[in-house]
Amino acid sequence: MRQSTGRLSETAVDAWRETLEAARQQTLQAQREELAELAEQLGQQVDGQALNDARVALDVARMTLQGGGLATEELRELRAVAQALTHSPELAERILEGQRELAELERSARDVPGAAAALAVALTGARQAIERGEAYDLAPLWATLERQMSQAAAQRQDFDARADFVIAEYDEVRGLAGETIQRLGRLADALRAQRRLGPMSADARERYAQTLDGAEALLGEARAEYEAAQKVTATFGEDALDNLLDVFDFGGESLDDAPGGSGLFGGALAPTSSVDEPLAPTSSVDEPLAPAKPAEPASSDPFAALLGLSTGASASAAQPASVPDAASSLSLPAGARADIWQVRGSAVVAGPEDGAAQGVAALLAQADALGLYRLDMGDDAHVWSARAAGEGEWRLARAADWDSLDDDAGPWLDTGEL
């Protein structure tokens, strides 16, 4: 297991495991010694119902420790019993009764978020008064616990309502591609699972809240991506949007092999020459007539079709200028797992020559016209990310996965500095 940012080495995990096991064994030994002392103290007491109950608790604690578990709660109750039995039988019974009710109150408070903290001071005072044999009314503490339980129930209802909203919002935009939508989908799945849980511990509620906060933070970005997609759909139609989402798979079937035989958008965009096309005029009546030069075939580039580029000479004029030789000098340090390009307008002006990158550059020109400033995309083999740099310029990066792209090209995408 390699160690890097966000990862732990196997050696570090083993070292932590050994440290925790050593601390656990030390605690077990200390509890065994304390249990032996308590058993000796209780053995000197006069028989009675309280002592019989204490012996049962001793057996439970002993079996727990023998099985390798910690008996922290049992030992605390045994200490209280041993201390109470030093008083007269009547006083001891009153003390033990108060301690039993106090223990029940504490156990109930542990399962209610915020209750333990709200009752901490009052519980300490009640415990000290009961140990002294003083009468102590626990009714106000129970009332406080009930208020905390009501607040916890209201909080759970609020959490569930927020989760339902996030899930509904995700279901509306889940058909789009992009890293933001994927991350939101993972959080929505987690919220569905948490939504189905019954009563939650304080830790479970904290995890629920963290998941909600993370999902809600992504909703705005996901909504912006969805609205941008709607603009593309309104401008080019739903078929164009589908082609945009799939257009980055350059390693598979040739576009000329697509249905229709003329690229991604079929043959409708390609003008055809008629067999009855008029013949070109000749300079001499004696020379045989020659057919005129056939029209240029339509480009199979999906971006050209999407952007409405015409065929023939007008298409050649609209095509971006070729990348200068110096363009290839833009690259990340050796060993980097990402490729980078600088785009101006719809042309790649710096970076390695790559047909896919040029296709994405055409898309970025439209993204700039729509007022977008960031695009995250993916195909079968790569992930792409682009950042607007102002005045029609973009920084574009590609890698095999998001971790590689963020680690190696992320700083350049954000700042433009290598």
Count of the separate structural domains present in the chain: 3
370-412 pLDDT tens trace: 778 888 888 778 899 998 888 888 999 999 998 888 888 888 8
Least confident of 91-95, 107-111, 172-176, 232-236: 232-236
- Per the listing, tokens 């994927």 go with 182
- What is the tens place of the pLDDT at every residue in 311-360? 333 333 344 444 444 445 788 888 889 999 999 988 898 988 888 888 88
Q: What is the 3-state secondary structure (H, E, C) of the chain?
A: CCCCCCCCCHHHHHHHHHHHHHHHHHHHHHHHHHHHHHHHHHHCCCCCHHHHHHHHHHHHHHHHHHCCCCCHHHHHHHHHHHHHCCCCHHHHHHHHHHHHHHHHHHHHHHCCCCHHHHHHHHHHHHHHHHHCCCCCCCHHHHHHHHHHHHHHHHHHHHHHHHHHHHHHHHHHHCCCCCHHHHHHHHHHHHHHHHHCCCCCCHHHHHHHHHHHHHHHHHHHHHHHHHHHHHHHHHHHCHHHHHHHHHCCCCCCCCHHHCCCCCCCCHHHHCCCCCCCCCECCCCCCCCCCCECCCCCCCCCCHHHHHCCCCCHHHHHHHCCCCCCHHHHHCCCCCCCCEEEEEEECCEEEECCCCHHHHHHHHHHHHHHHCCCCEEEEECCCCEEEEEEEECCEEEEEEECCHHHHHHHHHHHHHHCCC
- Looking at the structure, do residues 30 and 121 belong to the same domain, yes or no? yes
pLDDT digits (tens, 9 = 90+) for 159-200: 999 999 999 988 887 777 677 888 888 898 899 888 888 878
394, part of any domain: yes
Same domain, 125 and 30: yes
Asked whether residue 119 falls in the same domain as residue 164, the answer is no
CATH number of residue 408's parent domain: 3.30.450.30
Percent of the chain with pLDDT over 70: 74
User: Residue 356 carries which side chain, given as an amino acid letter?
Assistant: A
pLDDT over threshold 50, residue 98: yes
Domain stop point among 184, 207, 236:
236
Structural domain contains residue 51: yes
2 falls within a domain: no
Alpha carbon distance 180, 240 (integer Å): 21
Residue 308 lies in a domain: no
Band the pLDDT of 4: cuts 50, 70, 90. very low
- Domain shared by 25 and 126, yes or no: yes
Q: Is residue 210 part of a domain?
A: yes
Instruction: Kindly state whether residues 39 and 109 are assigned to the same domain.
Output: yes
Look at residues 75, 99, 132 and tell me which one is the last residue of a structural domain. Answer: 132
Same domain (yes/no): 36, 128: yes
Q: Are 158 and 86 within one domain?
A: no
Of the candidates 348, 363, 260, the one whose C-alpha atom is nearest the C-alpha of residue 304 is 363
Please tell me whether residues 34 and 122 are part of one structural domain.
yes
The rounded distance, in Å, linking the Cα atoms of 165 and 304 is 40
List the domain range (segments joined by +) for residue 349. 327-415
Query: Considering the domain boundaries, does residue 302 fall inside one?
Result: no
Global pTM reads 0.41
Residues 119 and 188 in one domain: no
Looking at the structure, tell me whether residues 117 and 158 fall in a common domain.
Answer: no
Mean pLDDT of 141-152: 90
pLDDT band, residue 243 (cuts 50/70/90) = low
In a domain, residue 296? The reply is no
Does the residue 56 lie in any domain? yes
Q: Are residues 128 and 39 in the same domain?
A: yes
Task: Choose the final residue of a domain: 210, 236, 262.
Answer: 236
Q: Which of 64-73, 268-277, 371-380 has the lowest mean pLDDT?
A: 268-277
Based on the domain organization, do 126 and 162 belong to the same domain? no
Q: Is the pLDDT of residue 242 over 70?
A: no
Mean pLDDT of the chain: 75
